[in-house]
Chain A
Amino acid sequence: MSLRTILATAAAKAVLAACHLTGRPGSSLPGRAALKVDPQIIASLAAQVRRGIIVTCGTNGKTTTNNLLCDMLEAQGFRVVSNRLGANMMEGVAAALATAASPLATRPPGYRSAPASGGPLGYLDADFACLEVDEASAARVLQYLKPDYMIITGLFRDQLDRYGEIDLTMKALEKAIALAPDMTLVINGDDPLTAFLAQKSGHRFVAFGVSEQTTPEVDFPPAEAVSTPVSTPNSSDEIREGRFCENCGAPLHYDFYHFSQLGVYRCPSCGFKRPAIAYDAARVTMTPQLSFDVLEEDSAPIRISAPMTGFYNVYNILAVYGVLRELDLPTESINEVLRNYKPQFGRGELFYLGRNREQKVLLNLAKNPTGFGQNIAAMLQDRSPKDLIIAINDNAQDGRDISWLWDVDFERLADETVLSITVSGLRALDMQLRLKYAEIASTSAKTVEEAIERRLADGCGNLYVLVNYTALYEAHKYLEGTAK
């Protein structure tokens, strides 16, 4: 262990302590400090991870997938280092590793390989590293750290101004994948973009997916067209990336879609097709909770149940299941882990507020059209009356371009169970305008706190809060504070 690494971990810890003192999560800043002191910090700490490094990429579902995987591994007694809070750029990865290392501790028991310098400082005591990595940062991170597995949850439109286009996201990931030739990819086979990336890379890959058409409850019927007749006012209007073959440009043929561009597809022209699915979900039901069978060749199906909503969680769970199977680890505990799963920071986080805990508040991150569409569908499956708050910011982390709001099918909110809609955030006006053109009335509040406060005072006791990235912190802080 070099002196630099030791100093870097010490610096990270000091910054983390300072962050905690000032009430910040400290998920990135300590990493920035550590990288300043030792640019190789990620490499030297990652090299100490004993059993495996698993990186999760994909525009939607990274945090849930990564955290579930951590929970599963920890439940089996492994020590896991991870960026659970979802800080997934270079600094976040460095912060996760550096703050987990022990600058002053003695050599932990069970440590196999002796470090280069032979000293007791700067050890990272971890069996596994589970890291979610932002697609645009992946090529930088993977210069320092060579994962054994990379999960790709799927690729949807996301924060377009940062990436340019989905094509650029693909190029960035392609570059990252090439940096770790021995890595196995665990991919969403229902997504043609991801499948193409995996097939093209030449890496070993296994796919998960849903091969049977799911019940109509997944694909929510759109609200009555609120306008003069249009040619195709149905749910296939949804924006889809990659309906054209990545390989040859011909339109893909779909047997059916699940949502967005996910489904069972093949190219009639060049033969590109959905890969063989190693971990396949069947008999998916969404109520009262998410439940499905996992089918696998040569083994009996197991039934998985999770206290979650949202069809997309099938993919998140399948990804975790797939990695465990690839690692040859037991999967029996998955239902128990799912039962105890604590959604991280606004990924379907539930709060009970009020004197008698009679106010139910569900906080959900929705930062791109696919995420929003899925969240709205999940919300409308709850047929009881509800109030809705939507907060949209356009800070750098959110993406400055919010034109994607117009790709979300907000027309669905013209539903009798949605009693009121309150908008907030830096781009509240844009959101309100979007709703106006769906002919849906809304009120606005200056801050998301104010919005929540009002609806707690006069709402129906069933509140949904949909927010994008930076608005999530404000909303979470307020709800957590109120819940105490």
Chain B
Amino acid sequence: MIAMAQYTQNKEDLTQQKAKKFNLWLGMIGMFMMFAALSSGFIVYTAGGADRGIKTLLPQAFIYSTILIVLSSVTMQLAYVAAKRTLFTRQRILLVITILLGLGFFAMQVHAWGILSDRGVVFVNSNASQSFIYVFTGMHLAHIAAGILVLVRALVGRMRNVSQVNNVFRMDLAALFWHFLGILWIYIYVFLLLNQ
């Protein structure tokens, strides 16, 4: 009988977890809409005159940062697999590597801003198409910062030895979100490349 009660309880917990993961999907839809709005804003603005447009080549640094974030997605996935197989040391190491790669991505983006502004492509600009580069990358970086916090939370959970169910659940959400951020960056990069 107790087993039966336990079962009911677990089932309710499971629904709860499923719903939380679904929340994340919805959140990602919301975030995507935000960038979709910026993209259409960019298109409408740029179409408004011949003197508008990015009118510069995007710096090489964006290619490096793309490589970093793709690598970090791979390590994140490996960390998630390690967590599912209860290989906790490996999970920890891979998570730390992912976080470092994330920080590297952050630094690389800031570096790219430096290169752009050295060329005179600054944020405060009478050609707002160029300002848009900063808005896209800046808003994305704000999300990366949130993503890194999520990764740190998963790592802290591992260190504090939370239950395996919770550990895997946190890793599941963190991995999903982190992959989303990677894909979002690739979308932004391709969008900007097509318009440069």
A and B: partners?
no
